[in-house]
């Protein structure tokens, strides 16, 4: 009996592994194709670079989730970074050095993220582009601080990601997004009675909600209802929506990722809840959700640093290159990854990094150079950093109009 | 040689081999590290090796010796990890590292033991596979509870909330201990390889002596034949509970080691969820049920494997699964067992023939 149950459980676990594996590859079939072509490309790149310049390489190690539930973000950041690396190499590299990018999977696990960092250290990485997610980034920053290696995270948004002086970030921090959202709603008089639906089991979501609630109080916005859900209960939102409706909310703030948001919008439409929806950068990507009626997202506003259909030359060029190479529209994480590489380039040029420098010297030089540079990137114009590691850039609000993001 | 071996019983010799293996591995690794022959990757994995070995041995006590199936050992690890990390973070400034970590170990082990006891009391009275079902649920529940807890400390004392950080009403200089889903950040790094190996040796010592003890023999009697054990007056629930509580507290020790190795601690499905419990069970099954040495070896190999396979990129999980299946067939398939036996016999026959010549 016991053995039977044991074998049943093991068989179940394996089936589950197969099913989740399939699920991931189904949802991100294009991304895995992209990853494959990326590996081929980078292999080709390293060959050509070996042929062109003898050994003068600048090694950037990337860390992010390439498999599992958060693979979309990691793969996007990896692809975005790779495009930047290719562009830089085609234009002659950084200070004459060819850039090499090695992106390692961390499976959204802090322990695995540290393993990935150690792999990159063995490979000879000189700076770290990562990790893509907050908790992993915090774990890695502890090790980079120990080893004095410069770290720039594209999208690690938790406050503690940049607690050490060698760590910087490209994205807004969670509190900044919460504060900016509350200020934006209040300044533009979008609503005064607000309901919030957030994921209490998610770092990103609860981090934004906390600061939003604080700032809302000082902006004289009234939060009439705050409904939490967790990763285990993220399919049915009718209770939260009904309570938001009963509380008389004029605007529903969704500091969550787009998968849940698409369900919320669908269920809100089913129950006839007609209010303004407002989100943060996590909503970016909602128009690409499969089987989602895009017309439901009409009028949804979101604060995001990047919109794929912006018309500035840099974005157009990036989106074209990304679509050509990976066959899909880049999201904000791809843009963050792209800006990360160009920021490293700007800082390295400012600091005069040369091939012979040790990792510690590079770290010290880059850390000193970061507050002095200004980067015009995809995720903001004239981005500057202070020594604490926080970027300073203006948040952009976009509204979904006719099935596309439009600037406001 | 024969006289020396004769002094030790066969089981004692077997135990010594296990300790010897761990100590030898420790010495070899230390020599290699000091001469710079170990990659950063393996150096980073040394503590996880110890963590997973300890929890595998702990689970083997439940599965192999007690004969019950637990699918919640990641949950006990989680309890040990969070209680000890909270303690260490709160006492980061006031206590020096050695007594702090020792106290953290005791707290982690005690809290996991307490939770294991509470889970075991109602369940271990029953016949059948109820423990597996209840521990499975427990593991998921504990993860969700921890994700909902907000705990902070300031001059006025502890603040606790299940809602959000705002409702704690902390003063400005307060220290957040658990920030809900954001977990515990900034617990001191007190784990290292030496501590890990010492804890692993202590774990092995406890488990192996438990097996040889009067209590352990009673537990194994229950496993082998419950009715016979009952008929000779063994208190079934009591002995089951003893074994299960020890197993849970050792899993808590592994959690303490885990929590003090990384600067961030979150209760994610990945590290403390159902999949982790299954992975620990895989260590036990592939290492051999009831075989403590096998658990240690399997835990080390299967922790190392996905990292070594990193160069295969997207294919590594596939290969990992194939290796698991191959190992399972090699260890457990009746045909393979028969084949192994025949090879061994032939080798023995060959040796005898050689000696005769």
**CB contacts, 8 Å: B179 with chain A:** 206
**CB contacts, 8 Å: A6 with chain B:** 69, 281, 285
Predicted confidence at residue B11, as pLDDT, reads 83
Predicted confidence at residue A387, as pLDDT, reads 87
Say if residue A133 is in the same domain as residue A149.
yes
Q: How many beta carbons lie within 10 A of that of residue B24, not counting itself? A: 10
Q: Is position A1 within any domain?
A: no
At B252, list the tokens: 């808590």
From the list A229, A45, A63, the residue with the least C-alpha distance to A156 is A63
Which whole-number Å values give the CA distances from B287 to A114, B127, B276, B294, in the listed order? 26, 27, 16, 4
Helix, strand or coil for residue A296?
A: helix
Q: How many beta carbons lie within 10 A of that of residue A32, not counting itself? A: 18
Q: Is position A406 within any domain?
A: no
Please report the sign of the dihedral spanned by the C-alpha atoms of residue B54, residue B298, residue B193, residue A156.
negative
**CB contacts, 8 Å: B132 with chain A:** 5, 9
Q: For residue A183, give its domain range.
A: 175-304
Q: What is the predicted ipTM?
A: 0.85
CB within 8 Å: A17 and B321: yes
pLDDT in tens, B79-133: 999 999 999 999 988 889 899 999 999 999 999 999 999 999 999 988 778 889 9
Partner residue opposite B166 with nearest CB, options A9, A117, A210: A210
Predicted confidence at residue A27, as pLDDT, reads 35
- Architecture of the domain delimited by B10-356: Orthogonal Bundle (1.10)
CB within 8 Å: B183 and A135: yes
Which residues of chain A fall below pLDDT 70? 1-55, 408
From the list A120, A9, A115, A26, the residue with the least C-alpha distance to A72 is A26
**Closest-CA residue in chain A for B188?**
A142
Partner residue opposite B67 with nearest CB, options A2, A10, A117: A2
Say if residue A252 is in the same domain as residue A111.
no
Between the CA atoms of B217, B219, B222 and B225, what dihedral angle is there, to the nearest 10 degrees? -40
Contact B54, B250 (CB under 8 A): yes
At B244, list the tokens: 């299960």
CA distance A76 to A38: 11
Helix B40-60 with B236-259: angle, nearest 10 deg: 170
Q: Is position A5 within any domain?
A: no
Q: What are phi and psi of A63, to 5 degrees?
A: -135, 135
Nearest chain A Cα distance for residue B235, angstroms: 21
Q: Is position A160 within any domain?
A: yes
**CB contacts, 8 Å: A158 with chain B:** 182
SS3 content of chain A, % helix, strand, coil (to 5): 55, 20, 30
Say if residue A153 is in the same domain as residue A179.
no
Tell me which of B71, B263, B288, B318 to substitute to probe the interface with A (most A C-beta atoms closer than 10 Å): B263
Note whether A274 contacts B: Cβ–Cβ < 8 A: no
| Displacement of CA A273 from its chain's centroid (Å) | 30
Q: What are phi and psi of A398, to 5 degrees?
A: -125, 155
**Beta-strand pair A301-304/A396-401:** antiparallel
Whole-model pTM?
A: 0.83
Domain boundary among A284, A304, A324: A304
Q: Is position A134 within any domain?
A: yes
At B330, list the tokens: 């090699």
Please report the sign of the dihedral spanned by the C-alpha atoms of residue A239, residue A240, residue A244, residue A250.
negative
Q: Is position A40 within any domain?
A: yes
**Closest-CA residue in chain B for A5?**
B129
CB within 8 Å: A200 and B39: no
Beta bridge partner(s), residue A407: A398
Say if residue A158 is in the same domain as residue A252.
no
**CB contacts, 8 Å: A118 with chain B:** 39-41, 43-45
CATH of the domain at A326: 3.40.50.2300
**CB contacts, 8 Å: A199 with chain B:** 181
pLDDT in tens, B61-82: 999 999 999 999 999 999 999 9
CB within 8 Å: A21 and B278: no
CB < 8 Å from B in window 39-98 of A: 39, 66-68
Say if residue A116 is in the same domain as residue A243.
no
CA distance B274 to B37: 36
Helix, strand or coil for residue A206?
A: helix
- List alpha helices for A233-331, DSSP H: 238-246, 258-270, 313-326
Please report the sign of the dihedral spanned by the C-alpha atoms of residue A202, residue A203, residue A207, residue A210.
positive
CB within 8 Å: A122 and B41: yes
Beta bridge partner(s), residue A405: A400
Say if residue A202 is in the same domain as residue A68.
no
Tell me which of B264, B278, B307, B309 to substitute to probe the interface with A (most A C-beta atoms closer than 10 Å): B264
**Beta-strand pair A391-392/A380-385:** antiparallel
CB within 8 Å: A110 and B264: yes
Say if residue A285 is in the same domain as residue A220.
yes
CB within 8 Å: A210 and B39: no
**CB contacts, 8 Å: A200 with chain B:** 147-148, 164, 180-181
Say if residue A247 is in the same domain as residue A380.
no
Say if residue A150 is in the same domain as residue A163.
yes
Partner residue opposite A142 with nearest CB, options B147, B181, B263: B263
Q: Is position A63 within any domain?
A: yes
Q: CA angle at residue B119 from B117 to B121, to 5 degrees?
A: 65
**Beta-strand pair A276-279/A251-254:** parallel
Partner residue opposite B180 with nearest CB, options A67, A200, A214: A200
Number of domains present in the structure of chain A? 2
Say if residue A146 is in the same domain as residue A237.
no
Nearest chain A Cα distance for residue B310, angstroms: 8
Predicted confidence at residue A12, as pLDDT, reads 52
At A134, list the tokens: 């907050």
Q: Is position A321 within any domain?
A: yes
Name all contacts of B117-124 with Cβ < 8 Å and 24+ positions apart.
B117/B241, B117/B244, B117/B245, B117/B248, B119/B72, B119/B248, B120/B240, B120/B241, B120/B244, B120/B245, B120/B248, B121/B241, B124/B68, B124/B237, B124/B240, B124/B241, B124/B244
CB within 8 Å: A201 and B264: no
Q: CA angle at residue A110 from A106 to A112, to 5 degrees?
A: 40
Say if residue A214 is in the same domain as residue A257.
yes
Convert chain B into a string of H (helix), E (strand) and C (coil): CHHHHHHCCHHHHHHHHHHHHHHHHHHHHHHHHHCCCCCHHHHHHHHHHHHHHHHHHHHHHHHHHHCCCCCCHHHHHHHHHHHHHHHHHHCCCCCCHHHHHHHHHHHHHHHHHHHHHHHHHHHCCCCCCHHHHHHHHHHHHHHHHHHHCEEEEECCEEEEECCCHHHHCCCCCCEEEEEHHHCEECCCCCCCHHHHHHHHHHHHHHHHHHHHCHHHHHHHHHHHCHHHHHHCCCCHHHHHHHHHHHHHHHHHHHHHHHHCCCCEECCCHHHHCHHHHHHHHHHHHHHCCCCHHHHHHHHHHHHHHHHHHHHHHHHHHHHHHHHHHHHHHHHHCHHHHHHHHHHHHHHHHHHHHHHHC
Predicted confidence at residue B298, as pLDDT, reads 94
CA distance A74 to A104: 9
Note whether A2 contacts B: Cβ–Cβ < 8 A: yes
Which whole-number Å values give the CA distances from A221 to A186, A187, A256, A273, B152, in the listed order? 7, 11, 20, 21, 27
Predicted confidence at residue B228, as pLDDT, reads 94
CB within 8 Å: B44 and A5: no
Which residues of chain B fall below pLDDT 50? 1-5
**Closest-CA residue in chain A for B270?**
A109
Q: How many beta carbons lie within 10 A of that of residue A3, not counting itself? A: 9
CB within 8 Å: B263 and A230: no
CB within 8 Å: A1 and B128: yes
Nearest chain A Cα distance for residue B10, angstroms: 28
Predicted confidence at residue A19, as pLDDT, reads 40
From the list A35, A13, A44, the residue with the least C-alpha distance to A80 is A35
CA distance A365 to A387: 13
Nearest chain B Cα distance for residue A108, angstroms: 8
Say if residue A283 is in the same domain as residue A330.
no
CA distance A286 to A262: 6
Helix, strand or coil for residue A165?
A: coil
Predicted confidence at residue A7, as pLDDT, reads 58
Specify burial of residue A280 (Cβ count, 10 A radius: 0-12, 13-18, 19+).
Answer: buried
From the list A253, A262, A213, A270, the residue with the least C-alpha distance to A234 is A262
CA distance A18 to B4: 52
Partner residue opposite B182 with nearest CB, options A9, A21, A206: A206
Helix, strand or coil for residue A329?
A: coil
Helix B97-123 with B130-148: angle, nearest 10 deg: 130
Which whole-number Å values give the CA distances from B141 to B145, B272, B273, in the listed order? 6, 11, 10
CA distance B164 to B180: 7
Note whether A158 contacts B: Cβ–Cβ < 8 A: yes
Note whether A256 contacts B: Cβ–Cβ < 8 A: no
Q: How many beta carbons lie within 10 A of that of residue B350, not counting itself? A: 10
**CB contacts, 8 Å: B258 with chain A:** 111
Helix B274-287 with B73-90: angle, nearest 10 deg: 120
Cβ neighbours of residue A30 under 8 Å, at least 6 residues apart? A326, A327, A328
From the list B145, B91, B89, B135, the residue with the least C-alpha distance to B259 is B89
Predicted confidence at residue B48, as pLDDT, reads 95
């Amino acid at each position: 009996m016991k053995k039977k149950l044991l074998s049943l459980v093991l068989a179940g676990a394996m089936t589950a592994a197969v099913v989740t594996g399939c699920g991931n590859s189904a949802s991100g079939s294009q991304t895995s194709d992209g990853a494959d072509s990326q590996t081929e490309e980078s292999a080709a790149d390293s060959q050509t670079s070996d042929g062109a310049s003898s050994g003068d390489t600048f090694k950037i190690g990337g860390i992010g989730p390439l498999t599992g539930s958060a693979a979309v973000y990691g793969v996007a950041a990896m692809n975005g970074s790779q495009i930047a690396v290719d562009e830089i190499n085609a234009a002659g590299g950084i200070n004459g050095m060819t850039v090499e990018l090695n992106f390692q999977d961390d499976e959204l696990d802090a322990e695995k993220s540290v393993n990935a960092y150690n792999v990159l250290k063995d490979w000879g990485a000189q700076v770290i582009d990562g990790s893509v997610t907050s908790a992993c980034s915090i774990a890695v920053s502890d090790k980079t601080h120990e080893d004095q290696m410069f770290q720039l995270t594209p999208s690690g948004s938790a406050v503690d990601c940049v607690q050490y002086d060698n760590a910087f970030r490209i994205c807004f921090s969670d509190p900044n997004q919460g504060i900016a959202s509350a200020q934006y709603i209040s300044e533009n008089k979008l609503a005064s009675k607000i309901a919030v639906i957030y994921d209490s089991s998610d770092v990103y979501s609860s981090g934004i909600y906390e600061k939003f609630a604080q700032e809302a109080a000082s902006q004289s916005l009234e939060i009439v209802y705050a409904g939490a859900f967790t990763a285990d209960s993220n399919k049915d939102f009718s209770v939260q929506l009904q309570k938001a409706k009963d509380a008389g909310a004029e605007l529903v703030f969704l500091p969550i990722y787009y998968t849940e948001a698409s369900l919320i919008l669908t269920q809100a439409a089913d129950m006839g809840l007609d209010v303004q929806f407002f989100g943060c950068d996590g909503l970016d990507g909602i128009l690409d959700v499969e089987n989602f009626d895009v017309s439901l997202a009409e009028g949804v506003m979101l604060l995001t640093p990047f919109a794929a259909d912006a018309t500035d030359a840099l974005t157009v060029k990036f989106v074209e290159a990304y679509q050509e190479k990976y066959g899909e529209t880049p999201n904000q994480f791809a843009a963050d990854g792209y800006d990360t590489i160009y920021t490293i380039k700007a800082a390295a040029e400012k600091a005069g990094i040369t091939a012979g420098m040790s990792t510690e010297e590079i770290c010290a030089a880059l850390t000193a150079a970061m507050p002095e540079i200004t980067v015009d990137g995809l995720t903001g114009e004239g981005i500057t950093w202070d020594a604490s590691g926080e970027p300073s850039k203006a948040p952009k609000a976009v509204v979904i109009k006719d099935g596309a993001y439009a600037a406001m | 040689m024969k006289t020396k071996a004769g002094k030790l019983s066969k089981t004692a010799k077997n135990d010594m081999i296990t300790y010897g293996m761990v100590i030898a591995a420790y010495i070899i690794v230390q020599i290699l590290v000091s001469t710079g022959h170990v990659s950063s990757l393996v150096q980073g994995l040394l503590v996880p090796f110890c963590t997973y070995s300890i929890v595998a041995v702990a689970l083997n006590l439940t599965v192999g010796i007690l004969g019950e199936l637990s699918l919640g050992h990641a949950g006990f690890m989680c309890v040990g990890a969070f209680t000890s990390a909270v303690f260490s973070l709160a006492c980061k400034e006031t206590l020096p590292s050695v007594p702090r970590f020792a106290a953290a170990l005791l707290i982690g082990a005690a809290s996991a033991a307490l939770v294991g006891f509470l889970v075991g009391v109602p369940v271990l009275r029953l016949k059948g596979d109820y423990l597996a079902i209840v521990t499975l649920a427990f593991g998921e529940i504990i993860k969700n509870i921890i994700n909902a807890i907000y705990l902070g400390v300031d001059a006025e004392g502890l603040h606790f909330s299940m809602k959000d950080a705002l409702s704690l009403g902390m003063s400005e200089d307060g220290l957040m201990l658990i920030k809900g889903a954001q977990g515990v950040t900034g617990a001191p790094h007190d784990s290292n390889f030496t501590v890990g190996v010492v804890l692993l040796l202590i774990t092995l010592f406890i488990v192996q002596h438990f097996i040889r003890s009067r209590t352990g023999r009673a537990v194994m009697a229950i496993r082998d034949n419950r009715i016979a054990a009952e008929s000779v007056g063994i208190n079934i629930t009591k002995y089951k509970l003893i074994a299960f509580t020890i197993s849970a507290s050792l899993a808590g020790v592994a959690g303490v080691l885990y929590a003090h190795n990384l600067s961030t601690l979150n209760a994610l499905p990945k590290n403390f969820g159902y999949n982790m419990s299954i992975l620990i069970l895989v260590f036990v099954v592939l290492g051999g049920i009831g075989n403590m040495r096998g658990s240690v070896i399997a835990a080390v190999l299967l922790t190392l494997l996905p990292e070594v396979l990193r160069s295969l990129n997207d294919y590594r999980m596939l290969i990992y699964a194939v290796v698991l299946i191959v190992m399972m067939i090699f260890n457990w398939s009746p045909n393979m067992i028969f084949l192994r036996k025949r090879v061994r016999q032939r080798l023995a026959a060959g040796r005898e023939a050689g000696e005769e010549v």
